[in-house]
Amino acid sequence: MSATPPRSTESTAFRSALDVIRGVEPRVADAIGQELADQREMLKLIASENYASPATLLAMGNWFSDKYAEGTVGRRFYAGCRNVDTVEALAAEHARELFGAQHAYAQPHSGIDANLVAFWAILADRVEAPALAAAGVRNVNDLSDADWAELRSAFGNQRMLGMSLDAGGHLTHGFRPNISGKMFDQRSYGTDPATGLIDYEALRAQAREFKPLVIVAGYSAYPRLVNFRIMREIADEVGATLMVDMAHFAGLVAGKVLTGDFDPVPHAQIVTTTTHKSLRGPRGGMVLCDDSLKDQVDRGCPMVLGGPLPHVMAAKAVALAEARRPDFQDYAQRVVDNARALAEGLMRRGATLVTGGTDNHLNLIDVASSYGLTGRQAEAALLDSGVVTNRNAIPADPNGAWYTSGIRIGTPALTTRGLGGAEMDEIAALIVTVLSATEQGKTSKGAVSKAQHVLDEKTSDEVARRASDLVAGFPLYPGVDLS
Ligand code: DSN
């Protein structure tokens, strides 16, 4: 959040915008103002959230929203897109430079959308293109009905190997309730039960046996590093395309904390991300790929995406420009340092962490074995106490994906506010105080409940007060005064 305009400029910009909105629907203006007030008071530890800069936020609220721009830069299905071309090209250029990618596609609206673009790019490259070549045609419209039926069936019969949800993978990596699990014949790789770490040799054996078309690496709740060089080696060995979903750790890649074997971009043929998590941009998605998949990726809209959101692409360009500054590298390092400080503070006070610590921006507390709680009970007790986290499954979770046995805590947002190691230790103390004082509740019939918890008000009020005092020392959007 450095190098922003003087405070008065930001206040004027946001206050004027709210005045205009208030003139039409005051309740919306009030809700926007209240959201800032709420966020200022929250001790936000949700690993997938952050605070975008005022410049990024302002780039989203304008007339770019009024423009249709299907197609790609310089090749649109609508007239009048020269300014959209400018911002989309800038977003892609910043992304290519920042991540060292051959190609960047800035149109996806979210991480799920980015993954869908990637899946269909791989299917187009690996399944459709060979079918067209075999039939001697250039376009699916030129296939005979029989060849088209065969190709459609082939699309739905491809194999994917992705990380299981309870090991920290994402639901779009082939989880059956998600479209990815319905499109692909998926098998999951998990983690070693003894260490909680990815076992690359077990994964290699599974890949050799299953022979997937796609191997998906990446996670939303795995607190350790992934070796993408080894993942690519395994993919090459079995003829799979390596796709990495770096949504959670894109900021650590951009900030050069994850380099070499741990940077997915030089290793994977295709990499997807969101732009709003550790990368600290607007809510949205993006795909990076090597030139071999460029044309397929660029067909994302209208293949699986609705019209691009030019206002969000403008904000992506701003946020990516910010991430190219040297201070972003300092930020990314502090995110990891803070996660480690939090881990140490928690473990020193007796909490059990999945894998016994962290190498990235997140920690996963096993609240079932540490405190006899479900994730849902722990999440609710912490929220009562002003600490915002989210529950998450842990490997071989006895409480399933709804109640869970884990709490996921991440440091990107609080690091943006400027909190450091001393504050992380204080937060660890607050979390342990709450979880130690919380007990399982009862259902209306007197049975032990997985949802209800009991926490005395004195503890929750005291922790909430300490949490609020803690964040008050690190003002959020200090240049924005709406009063
Ligand atoms: N919802 C995101 C997360 O919290 O990890 C991933 O989709």
Compute the distance from residue 92 Cα to the ligand 1 centre, in Å. Answer: 23
Is 142 annotated in the active site? Answer: no
pLDDT surpassing 70 at residue 2: no
Query: Same structural domain for residues 159 and 239?
Result: yes
Query: Same structural domain for residues 338 and 319?
Result: no
Query: Same structural domain for residues 175 and 157?
Result: yes
Read off the pLDDT of residues 52-68 as tens digits, 9 standing for 90 and up.
Answer: 999 999 999 999 999 99
Compute the distance from residue 131 Cα to the ligand 1 centre, in Å. Answer: 36
Is 70 annotated in the active site? Answer: yes
Span 12-18, average pLDDT: 96
The residue whose C-alpha atom lies closest to atom 3 belonging to ligand 1 is 48
Whole-Å CA distances, 266 to 68, 100, 102: 33, 8, 10
The residue whose C-alpha atom lies closest to atom 1 belonging to ligand 1 is 48
Instruction: Decide whether any atom of ligand 1 lies within 6 Å of the 399 Cβ.
Output: no
Query: Same structural domain for residues 139 and 274?
Result: yes
Which of 276, 293, 323 represents a domain boundary (last residue)? 323
Read off the pLDDT of residues 247-290 as tens digits, 9 standing for 90 and up.
Answer: 999 999 999 999 999 999 999 999 999 999 999 999 999 999 99
Q: Provide the residue range defining the domain that includes 139.
A: 63-323
Query: Same structural domain for residues 348 and 234?
Result: no
Query: Same structural domain for residues 316 and 352?
Result: no
Read off the pLDDT of residues 310-329 as tens digits, 9 standing for 90 and up.
Answer: 999 999 999 999 999 999 99
311 is in an annotated binding site: no
The residue whose C-alpha atom lies closest to atom 6 belonging to ligand 1 is 220
Q: Is residue 24 part of a domain?
A: no
Q: Considering 76, 159, 232, 277, which one is annotated as catalytic?
A: 277
Q: Is the pTM of this model over 0.85?
A: yes
- The number of folded domains in the chain is 2
Compute the distance from residue 170 Cα to the ligand 1 centre, in Å. Answer: 8
Is 10 annotated in the active site? Answer: no
Query: Same structural domain for residues 340 and 206?
Result: no
Q: What's the CATH code of the domain at 313?
A: 3.40.640.10
Which of 301, 323, 345 represents a domain boundary (last residue)? 323
Instruction: Decide whether any atom of ligand 1 lies within 6 Å of the 48 Cβ.
Output: yes
Instruction: Decide whether any atom of ligand 1 lies within 6 Å of the 220 Cβ.
Output: yes
Query: Same structural domain for residues 305 and 227?
Result: yes
Q: Is residue 37 part of a domain?
A: no
Query: Same structural domain for residues 311 and 363?
Result: no
Is 466 annotated in the active site? Answer: no
Q: Is residue 404 part of a domain?
A: yes
Query: Same structural domain for residues 268 and 128?
Result: yes
Is 245 annotated in the active site? Answer: yes
pLDDT surpassing 60 at residue 442: yes
Q: Is residue 6 part of a domain?
A: no
At residue 7, the pLDDT reads: 57
Q: Is residue 378 part of a domain?
A: yes
